[in-house]
Amino acid sequence: MQVGLVGWRGMVGSVLMQRMIAEKDFKNVASVFFSTSQSGQAVTLRDGREVVLKDANDLSQLLKMDAIVSCQGGDYTQKIHGPLRDAGWQGYWIDAASTLRMASNALVVLDPINIDDIHAALDDGKKDFIGGNCTTSLMMLAMHGLFRDELVEWVSAMTYQAASGAGAQNVRELIEQMGSIYEASKDDLASPKGGILDIDALVLDRMRAKEFPTEYFGTPLAGSLIPWIDADLGNGQSREEWKAQAETNKILGRQGDPIPVEGICVRIGAMRCHSQALTFKLSNSVPVLEVEKILGDANEWVSVIPNDKPSTISMLSPTSVTSTLNIPVGRVRKLNLPGNIYSAFTVGDQLLWGAAEPLRRMLQILVRR
C-alpha cells in the first residue's frame, strides 16, 4: 500500500510520526513523504531513513497514492481533496481537519467507539475518513461506556483547552508570555519582603503592556484565560462549541435523534492536554459506583480516578496525562440537583487521542483489511 504523508512535520504530524515509528507502522506500508514548500529536498526522518520529498501540490504525484494521510490543516484539504477526487482518485483520504467532517460521504473516525461503522463504510466503498475535533473525541472516549449503554440524555462539556489546539506558534507564545511575566516580577519575587500586591501590579502592568506577546492569541493567556475558541457562528455560539453535538452524534450514528451536547469552550494556559468538566443527565438513577464501573470498563485507555483530593491532583491533570494515551476520568458524583444529574472531569492529550492517534489507527485498519 502506497501511503502519502502530508503535513508530517507540524505539531500533529510530528506526534503522528512518533506514534507510527513507536508502533512500527512503517513496516506495513510504502510511505511517501510530501511537502508543500520543500519538494525535491532530501531529509532524514526520526527513524533514520533518508527520503526525498515530493510536491504536496502536485496532483499527479498524489494520484499514485493508495491512501493520503494529511496533518496539513483545513486549507490544504480544501484546496487538494476536491480536485484529486475530480481527477478520478479512488484512494483513501485520512485527515484531522474539520473541512470534510460533516460531508455525508465522510466518516468521523474514533475506532474504539465506531469500529463497526468504519468497517461498514469501507464495505460500502467510502473513501474519506476524518479524525474528529479534539475535545469531542476526548470527551467521547471518557464517556464511552455511558454512551454505549444508551444512558446519556444530555451532556454539558465545559472545556479547558490547551494552547497546542491553537497551533505551534501559540504554544511558543504562551511560554513567551509566561517568561515575560516572570521577567517583570523577578526582582520583587527574589526579595522575601516583596509585597504581593506590588508583585501583582507589576504582573498586571506587563500583561496589559503593548510589548506583551499576543500576536497569535490576540490577548494574554498566561495568567488569564480566553473563553472563546474558533469562529463566531453569530448565534452566541463558537464553532468549537457547535462541533461537540454535531460530531458526537455523527460518531454515534445518531444524527436523526441527537443527544444534546452543549457547553462553553475555554482556552487555558496548559500545553497540550485538553480538560473538560462534564455535567450529564442519565436516563435513570444509577449508583455512582456503577457509573464509575461503566466508565472504567469501556475501553483500554479510560481509567477512573477516585474522587478524592490526593488522587485527583496527582492523576487528573494535564501534567500527569501529557504524552500518554490515557483518558482519566474522575470527580464522578451525583450532583445535588433535581433529576439524575452527574458530574465528571476528564483530561486527554489533544495531540494524541485528540488528533494523531485516530488517524494512525485508521491507516492500520486499512492495512489489516
Which residue ranges make up the site for ligand HSE (CB under 6 A)?
133-134, 161, 165-166, 229-230, 240, 350, 354
Cβ at position 295, least distance to ligand HSE in Å: 23
Close Cβ partners of 176 (under 8 Å, ≥ 6 residues apart): 213
Long-range (24+ apart) CB contacts under 8 A made by 261-264 are 261/139, 261/154, 261/155, 261/156, 261/157, 262/154, 262/155, 262/156, 262/157, 263/155, 263/156, 263/157, 263/158, 263/159, 264/158, 264/159, 264/227
As a whole number of angstroms, the distance between CA 189 and CA 187 comes to 5
Closer residue to ligand HSE in complex, CB, 201/277: 277
Cβ at position 61, least distance to ligand HSE in Å: 28
Q: Is 256 exposed, middle or buried (0-12, 13-18, 19+ CB in 10 A)?
A: exposed
Q: Are strands 92-95 and 67-70 parallel, antiparallel or unpaired?
A: parallel
Closer residue to ligand HSE in complex, CB, 112/354: 354
Q: Which residue has the cell 444529574?
A: 341
Residues serving a catalytic function are 134, 274
Q: Which cell goes with 333?
A: 458524583
Cβ at position 230, least distance to ligand HSE in Å: 6
Closer residue to ligand HSE in complex, CB, 20/166: 166
CB-based closest residue to ligand HSE:
165
Q: What is the dihedral of CA 53, 54, 55, 57, to 10 degrees?
A: -120
Closer residue to ligand HSE in complex, CB, 161/185: 161
Cβ at position 92, least distance to ligand HSE in Å: 21
Residue type, 277: A
Cβ at position 218, least distance to ligand HSE in Å: 13
Q: Which cell goes with 52?
A: 526525498
Closer residue to ligand HSE in complex, CB, 220/354: 354
